[in-house]
Every structure is written in structure tokens, then in C-alpha cells.
Structure 1
């Protein structure tokens, strides 16, 4: 188990994020049209996974906006925004915000993504949701950068994630 916090209170996740240099687990998620997408569908491109509890919170929506502007502009790069929100909510958020440069994916069906990446919260007010994390993959699906934000209310280190993408 990994310890993070929510409002200063300790929360646990299933474990540690995948190690750098390892192959990213190939998990199925649900897209905005209720289609099935796998992490491996994005091989051949650099991938930034922006993972968060819910797009309906301020910090989570800020991260989607920021990565929509910054990372999505990079060549041969896909930004995957992943939460357990229903695809309908994700789609409505993107439509209302004019966000077009990210791929919204949901882990609502079976939670396998959160389990495979060890980032499902196991207690606290957000129990069963995904912890705020960023994982960057190279074109071959290898992990080159990870960050599990220690306090859920904090934003991820955008600069470090974007540098990892640019240096991949």
C-alpha cells in the first residue's frame, strides 16, 4: 500500500505505480462512445496518462485543461484522461469546456485499470476512486515517468511530465 492524503488525512492506495522501464499494463477502458479501448491501442505514440478521481472537481478539471493545451500540442503524443467518471460526464465536461485534444477514458466498468496500476484508493472519502497520478509512456508502451501526487488536492507536476514527453 502507498500512503497519500486527502485534506491532510492519510489515504491508502493498492500499491506503487509501475516502475520506470517496465511495460505498461494493457488494460481495457471505456471511451466516450462506450467503446472499448486498450492502452496498447496507443502504441507507436508517446502517451501521457492524466489520472484523477473525478473530472467534476477543480483540480481534476484543471489538469485536463492544462494537458489539453500543453501536451496535446506535442507531436506523436496522445493524452489519456482517466477516471471512474461515467463516459457521459466526461463527454459533457469536454463539450462545455471546448476540450478536443485529449482522449477521455473511464474505468467505471470493472476497475481493472486502477488495480493493474495500483492506484485505486482503498479507504477515505474517495475510496474506490483513482488517485491523482501521471504516467508517461514511450512509443513502445514502456513507462518513462510516474508521479502519484501525495495530496489529492494538489495539482501534478506539469513541467516534469511534459519534459519526460519531450525527452522520450
Structure 2
């Protein structure tokens, strides 16, 4: 809406960097492409401020902001990317017998498990998981981060 109010005429349907360059910068100043970084910076500041305020004011539990209990603090930390972490995660998932399917996307392990009740969410978070999403009685996603590919490979080795 802001772009329309400013009469910016850049882009096709994607609005990506190629659209910006081809349909904006290369078309000259008639497209007002120079306003895009300005509006982007303002939108960034607005979004950041509003969401930071809401998260802190209402104590919203975003990944990584869960409450830490005393027993979690006393446990030995698990180093990400190690076989120890993979073994603990495999155990927390109920062992290799409980896993029907294991896959990953950019940041998440995507699993199909036989029994969701034996999946230990607390141990998964202690092992470095940023979050655990139970989609239904068999589908589970464990948010790990960009190193999820390494962990998936380690889990596959342990499961075979």
C-alpha cells in the first residue's frame, strides 16, 4: 500500500532483487526506485520496534526464550554438531524403533514417529532444539537451525 501511495512502479509478481534491478534501477528515476531502500529501512524499524515491544511486554515465548529451570542449568551442556548430541536426540525421539521417517528442511528435522507419547520434548530442548512442533499424533518437527543437515546425517548413521 505504501508503495502504491508513493507511485512506485517497480516489479512483476515476485518483487525480488531481479525485479528491483530490471524494472526499477534500469528504467531510470521515473520508477522512483530510490525510495525502495528508504521505505524498507522504515518498515524494518517499525516491525522491529513493534515486535520487540510486544515480545517483551507480553513475555511471548519465542524460540530460545523459554524459561530455564534449575535442573536444566545444572545439567552438562551438549555441544551442537557432536555425536553425543545426536545420540541424546535419538534417545529423546524414542530411539530408532520409534522413527518411521526422517527428513529435514533448512532449519527443521521433519519426522514421522510411531508413538508421539515417548518423545521427550524437554530433552530435545536441552540438546539445543529451539522448538518442537507436534503437528498430529505421528508428525513432528524439531527446530534445530542451519546445522540441521549435519544432525540428520548423524541420526541416519546411528539409526542404521
Structure index of larger Rg: 2
The one of the two structures with greater contact order (alpha-carbon pairs below 8 A, sep at least 6) is 1
Structure number with the higher strand fraction is: 1
Task: Check whether TM > 0.5.
Answer: no
TM-score by length of 1: 0.25
TM-score by length of 2: 0.26
Structure number with the higher helix fraction is: 2
